């Protein structure tokens, strides 16, 4: 944790009067230039966080150390990064705790790596596996810049997780595995070998087809608990005087998260006692099943039982209308 005054070589985040962010690295003797003047880095070195500094043109900048969430959005990228909102969910729902032994793949730009390292701390371990050498190097640079050097709990290896993991850890020695890649189901065998019983596997997936494949493969293998899936949406708010309302724009989709836990060796997960949703595993066989399936995909559906009840009620109404009540005569048929 970096505290105290700004030091030479540290990253500083500047906020201009319009709220725009710029990140720079402090260097003795360097100058920060804008189209409205400049200031010397030396004016910031030794100053406390939360300092306001003015350029020679009179523009004021607020200087703070970047938070992890700020840094992730401004750091150099190779592959797409996991956004802070999803990283927060991953740390909590995959139950990443100080001292945990964690494996992640792929590493991409290393955004999630930063959150995982923060969560396991210096007493834990994070083995990050990335198949692309160039992405691994980008991630290494981002991690070193953020932590100001190597993190003692971190090991980065290149290759496919399926090939690297079996030789990298002892069977059942890993507490948590996080997968962010195109085809995480290809890693089930290696992850089953590495994870301790009760260990959590979390996958981050961009599409519903990937989500379905991952969940069905996990169920077919029998060695995983029932997968649980969700997504999160975060809507920012505009806060200005009495103009307090949701932002007009938001990031509507990033990815789906799914977790499952490893069963004890040789023990199959109990089969859930529930009827599968009609049409979930095959073509619907009648209109009522089509209605149920439509409900599953977000259309308003209605059960076959409810439709039969409504039809019976209509029939009863029709019969009542046709029968004259006591003391009444049936209304004459206008055709007569």
Ligand X SMILES: C[S@@+](CC[C@H](N)C(=O)[O-])C[C@H]1O[C@@H](n2cnc3c(N)ncnc32)[C@H](O)[C@@H]1O
210 binds ligand X per the rule CB under 6 A: no
DSSP string, 248-317: S-------EEEEEEBPPTTPPPPPP-SPPPTTSSS---SHHHHHHHHHHTTS----HHHHHHHHHHHHHH
DSSP string, 15-67: E-TT--EEEEE--TT-EEEETTEEEEGGGTTTPPTTEEEE-TTS-EEEEEPPP
Q: How far is the CB of 224 from ligand X (least distance, A)?
A: 18
127 binds ligand X per the rule CB under 6 A: no
105 binds ligand X per the rule CB under 6 A: yes
Q: Which of 115, 125, 156 lies closest to 138 in space, CA to CA?
A: 156
Out of 26, 53, 112, 263, the only residue in the binding site for ligand X (CB under 6 A) is: 112
189 binds ligand X per the rule CB under 6 A: no
131 binds ligand X per the rule CB under 6 A: yes
Q: How far is the CB of 178 from ligand X (least distance, A)?
A: 8
Phi/psi zone of residue 118: left (φ > 0), alpha (ψ -120 to 50 degrees), beta? Answer: alpha
Q: Give the residue ranges of DSSP H helices in 49-170.
A: 68-74, 84-93, 111-120, 133-147, 161-168
* Whole-number Å distance between alpha carbons of 198 and 219: 16
- Of 161 and 211, CB closest to ligand X: 161
Per CB under 6 A, which region of 31-39, 101-109, 216-224, 319-327 contacts ligand X? 101-109
- Of 30 and 145, CB closest to ligand X: 145
Q: Of residues 134-163, which lie at the interface with ligand X (CB under 6 A)?
A: 135, 160-162
108 binds ligand X per the rule CB under 6 A: yes
* Whole-number Å distance between alpha carbons of 107 and 79: 9
278 binds ligand X per the rule CB under 6 A: no
Q: How far apart are the first and last CA of the chain?
A: 95
* Whole-number Å distance between alpha carbons of 145 and 204: 25
Per CB under 6 A, which region of 15-23, 91-99, 177-185, 279-287 contacts ligand X? 177-185
Pair type for strands 195-205 and 154-158: unpaired
Out of 75, 119, 129, 168, the only residue in the binding site for ligand X (CB under 6 A) is: 129
Per CB under 6 A, which region of 29-37, 119-127, 130-138, 232-240 contacts ligand X? 130-138
Number of residues that bind ligand X (CB under 6 A): 23
106 binds ligand X per the rule CB under 6 A: yes
**Bond preceding residue 68 cis, omega within 30 of 0:** no
Q: How far is the CB of 110 from ligand X (least distance, A)?
A: 5
* Whole-number Å distance between alpha carbons of 182 and 243: 42
Q: How far is the CB of 78 from ligand X (least distance, A)?
A: 7
Q: Of residues 64-93, which lie at the interface with ligand X (CB under 6 A)?
A: 79-82
SS3 158: strand
Per CB under 6 A, which region of 41-49, 127-135, 215-223, 257-265 contacts ligand X? 127-135
Q: How far is the CB of 202 from ligand X (least distance, A)?
A: 12
* Whole-number Å distance between alpha carbons of 147 and 128: 16
- Of 44 and 81, CB closest to ligand X: 81
Which residues make up the interface to ligand X (CB under 6 A)?
Answer: 79-82, 105-112, 129-132, 135, 160-162, 180-182
């Amino acid at each position: 944790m970096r505290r105290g005054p700004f030091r030479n070589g540290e990253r500083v985040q500047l906020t201009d009067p319009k709220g725009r962010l710029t990140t720079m690295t402090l260097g003795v003797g360097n100058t920060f230039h804008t189209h409205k003047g400049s200031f010397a880095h030396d004016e910031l070195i030794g100053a406390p966080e939360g300092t306001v500094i003015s350029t020679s043109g009179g523009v004021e900048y607020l200087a703070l150390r970047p938070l992890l969430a700020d840094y992730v959005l401004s750091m150099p990228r190779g592959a797409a990064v996991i956004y802070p909102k999803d990283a927060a969910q991953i740390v909590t729902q995959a139950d990443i705790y100080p001292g945990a032994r964690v494996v992640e793949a792929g590493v991409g730009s290393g955004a999630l790596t930063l959150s995982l390292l923060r969560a396991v701390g210096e007493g834990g371990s994070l083995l990050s596996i990335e198949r692309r050498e160039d992405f691994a190097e980008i991630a290494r640079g981002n991690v070193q810049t953020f932590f100001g050097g190597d993190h003692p709990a971190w090991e980065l290896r290149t290759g496919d997780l399926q090939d690297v993991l079996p030789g990298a850890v002892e069977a059942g020695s890993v507490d948590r595995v996080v997968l962010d890649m195109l085809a995480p189901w290809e890693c089930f065998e290696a992850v089953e070998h590495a994870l301790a019983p009760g260990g959590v596997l979390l996958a981050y997936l961009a599409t519903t087809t990937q989500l379905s494949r991952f969940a069905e493969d996990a169920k077919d293998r029998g060695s995983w608990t029932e997968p649980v899936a969700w997504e999160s949406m975060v809507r920012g708010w505009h806060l200005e005087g009495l103009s307090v309302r949701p932002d007009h724009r938001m990031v509507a989709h990033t990815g789906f998260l799914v977790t499952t836990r490893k069963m004890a060796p040789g023990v199959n997960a109990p089969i859930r006692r529930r009827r599968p949703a009609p049409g979930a595993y095959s073509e619907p066989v009648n209109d009522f099943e089509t209605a149920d399936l439509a409900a599953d995909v977000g259309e308003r559906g209605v059960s076959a039982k409810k439709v039969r009840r409504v039809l019976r009620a209509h029939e009863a109404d029709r019969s009542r209308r046709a029968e004259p009540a006591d003391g009444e005569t049936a209304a004459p048929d206008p055709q007569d």
